[in-house]
Amino acid sequence: MEENLQKAEDDEINLLDYLIVLAKHKKIIIYATLGLMIITAIYSLIVPPIYKGETKILPPQQSSSGMASQLLSQLGGAAGLVGGVVPMKSPNDLYIGLIKSNTVLDRIIDRFNLMSIYKARFRSEAREALLNNLKVTDDKKSSIITIGVEDKDPRRAADMANAFVEELRRLTKGLAVSEASQRRLFFEEQLEDAKKELVRSEEAMRGFQEKTGALQIEGQAKAVIESMAQLRAQIAAREVELRVMRTYSTENNPDVKKAEAAISGMRAELNKLEKRKGDGHDPLMPTGRMPEVGTEYIRKLRDLKFHETLYELLFKQYEAAKLDEGKDATVIQTFDKAEPPELRIKPKRTQMVMIAGVVGFFLSIFAAFFLEYMEKSSLNPENRERFNTLKGYIDLKKEYLKLQELIRRRSKERAL
């Protein structure tokens, strides 16, 4: 019982000792706290205000959760715009990556002359400064993307936020952002090749007719050749369609199997037509029943009909893909357009002064106890000797003079 009372008395004495130290150095605590608060208040008044312009957009939502990752893998060279390959959590991650891409950043930099405003020597410095001022957030519940831009000029902050939306729309127009647009691009390339081949066949036929004057062939042979040309063109078109389907479907897809079965059926029909002309070889090769000129004419007619039919089939597929692309067009909706903000977001003067007061208060308390410790330690002879030893080790001026003397001696020795 007596020990507990003695311990409580010691604790009370220690607490009183702390209060005595604080009271002894109260001026340091008060002046340091108030001084830091005043300096912070003056600094907050000198620092130029920063405004933030914000706009909110609703990007198109994909019907499939895996569409965004599939899109990124199929963008090819354009995937470099969104930086490294990273797993996306939602379709919105793709559009956030496009907003922060170098293509969009460079357009904003050139549009607002940010190289001069940010006083950047290199474009990479301007991009980094713009990214620091760009604040893009994604609301996972509503799928709304908020684009905010911080700037000293409130009008420019709002204009830059709206410009990011415009540049995002401009960028997405040139990218395949849906399955329909991917099919349209594929058929567009195939159609261009088919058109070139058709023009080449037409010119070959015209040259042959001008050279030989062959204008008619046997009607039955012509009908057979036309049927074979149409079948071959249909097979080629079906094969193109099958390659397109395989870019976004697996081999077990019912549509893929159906297309493969259709191609097999058409090939069997083509084999039947070819076998009607003898031993299964090309029926247009020279035989005793067909003059050499007629054979050459039919061969060129076959190529012409083949490319005509192929072009027509690919053109229909291309038009269908364009209609589908129009239905799935990328529409980025803006429902809160950025306007020049009236209030600044930085600096938050009251918050800065309060934080400075708290930091100054605790630092001054630490300084008060440190001074008290130094004062008591200086009265102890052992501690005084330790302080002198420590001071000798950290006396930079003395060490510098020793180093100069050593250099001077070595210089003399080398001279001798």
- Give the CATH number for residue 167: 3.30.1890.10
> Which of 177, 203, 219 is where one domain is finished?
177
> For 172, how many CA atoms within 13 A lie in the half-sphere containing its CB?
22
Stated pTM of the model:
0.49
Does residue 68 belong to any structural domain of this protein? Answer: yes
Same domain assignment for residues 190 and 315: yes
CB–CB of 311/194 below 8 Å? yes
Does the residue 323 lie in any domain? Answer: yes
**Spatial separation of the C-alpha atoms in residues 367 and 116, rounded to whole Å:** 45
Residues 13 and 123 in one domain: no
Given CA atoms 41, 43, 46, 52 in this order, what sign does their dihedral have? negative
> Looking at the structure, do residues 187 and 290 belong to the same domain, yes or no?
yes
**334: in domain:** no
Q: Do 239 and 318 belong to one domain? A: yes
For 13, phi and psi rounded to 5 degrees?
A: -65, -45
**Continuous H helices in 134-275:** 154-173, 179-212, 219-248, 254-275
Residue at a domain's end among 177, 211, 229 = 177
Token pair, residue 45, equals: 């008044």
Does residue 416 fall inside a structural domain? Answer: no
Q: Are residues 110 and 196 in the same domain?
A: no
- With beta carbons less than 8 A apart as the criterion, state whether 183 and 324 touch: yes
- Do 117 and 81 share a structural domain? yes
Q: Are residues 296 and 197 in the same domain?
A: yes
138 within domain boundaries? yes
The Cα 324–Cα 96 span in angstroms is 26
Give the integer Cα–Cα distance in Å for 37 and 47: 15
Q: How far apart are CA 31 and CA 236, in angstroms?
A: 89
Q: How far apart are CA 18 and CA 10, in angstroms?
A: 12
- Length of the chain, in residues: 416
Residue 97, classed as helix, strand or coil, is helix
The count of structural domains within the chain is 4
Query: In this structure, are 24 and 96 located in the same domain?
Result: no
- 116 and 163 housed in the same domain: yes
Q: What is the domain range of residue 286?
A: 181-327
**Whether 153 contacts 161, CB under 8 Å:** no
Judgement on whether residues 37 and 8 belong to the same structural domain of the protein: yes
- Whether 373 is covered by a domain: the verdict is yes
Residues 233 and 313: beta-carbon distance below 8 Å:
yes
The one-digit pLDDT tens for each residue of the chain (416 residues) are 555 555 555 555 577 777 887 788 888 888 888 888 888 888 888 888 889 999 999 887 654 434 444 444 444 444 444 444 344 456 788 889 889 999 999 999 999 999 999 999 999 999 999 999 999 999 888 889 999 999 999 999 999 999 999 998 888 776 655 566 667 777 788 888 888 888 888 888 777 767 765 555 555 456 667 777 788 888 888 888 878 777 777 777 777 778 888 888 888 877 776 654 444 334 443 333 345 556 677 777 778 888 888 888 888 887 877 776 666 555 678 878 888 888 888 888 888 889 988 998 899 888 888 887 777 766 666 666 666 666 666 565 566 666 777 777 777 777 66
Helix (H, G, I), strand (E, B) or coil at 75: coil
DSSP per residue, 351-378: HHHHHHHHHHHHHHHHHHHHHHHHHHHH
Q: Which residues of 154-173 are buried (b: 16+ CB within 10 A; e: fewer)?
A: bebbbbbbbbbbebbeebbe
Asked if residue 395 is part of any domain, the answer here is yes
Phi and psi torsions of 149, nearest 5°:
-130, 130
Residue 159 shares a structural domain with residue 72: yes
Whether residue 231 lies inside any domain: the answer is yes
Residue 236 and residue 192 share a domain: yes
